[in-house]
Amino acid sequence: MSNKVIFLDIDGVLVHTGMREPGSMRIEKWDNNCVVRLGRICKVTGAKIVVHSSWARIYKPNELQQMFKDAGLLEHLHPDFAAVGIRDGNPGEKIRSIKFWLSQHPEVSKYIILEDDLIASVKDEPLVWIISGWSKGGLQKRDAEVAIALLS
């Protein structure tokens, strides 16, 4: 098992407003460009994905697994792939969920957090802030390079 982990936010990283179907409010489709970039980070570094997004609370584990399978990312999903607290709505809770997950996995030697919201409380954390985020296209090539550098 890999000792490197990527804590993945989904909204604003794999999903963004550019994926909105005309006339629909919901955006459920992952941007394949972002998916490919995430897959590359995993391939190059050997890191496994743990979801710290509300998607891990909204969807059942098997539903989420199916999404990663459909995206061609299943091989990169950590066996214990959900890190969500009971109230993951605020940034502090997200970090608490990540910290709790890490406390259950002392084998992890390196990790990063892919996140599009600027979270003040994570200034000492290995955060890859996805500046393009929700409105401008999610995970970009430059973000992937930063992620690879932090995990190498």
Interacting residues with Mg ion (CB under 5 A): 9, 11-12, 116
Q: Min. distance of Cβ 64 from Mg ion in angstroms? A: 16
Q: Min. distance of Cβ 54 from Mg ion in angstroms? A: 9
Assign residue 123 a region (left: φ > 0; alpha: ψ between -120 and 50; beta: otherwise).
alpha
Nearer CB in complex with Mg ion: 12/85? 12
Q: Min. distance of Cβ 133 from Mg ion in angstroms? A: 7
Residue nearest Mg ion by beta-carbon distance: 12
Nearer CB in complex with Mg ion: 73/116? 116
Give kind and range of the element (H or E) at residue 129.
strand 127-129
Nearer CB in complex with Mg ion: 47/138? 138
Residue 124, number of CB atoms within 10 A of its CB: 6
How is residue 112 annotated by DSSP? E
Q: Min. distance of Cβ 34 from Mg ion in angstroms? A: 12
Supply 104's token pair. Answer: 């259950």
Nearer CB in complex with Mg ion: 3/18? 18
DSSP letter string, 8-48: E--BTTTB-GGGPPTT-S---PPPHHHHHHHHHHHHHH--E
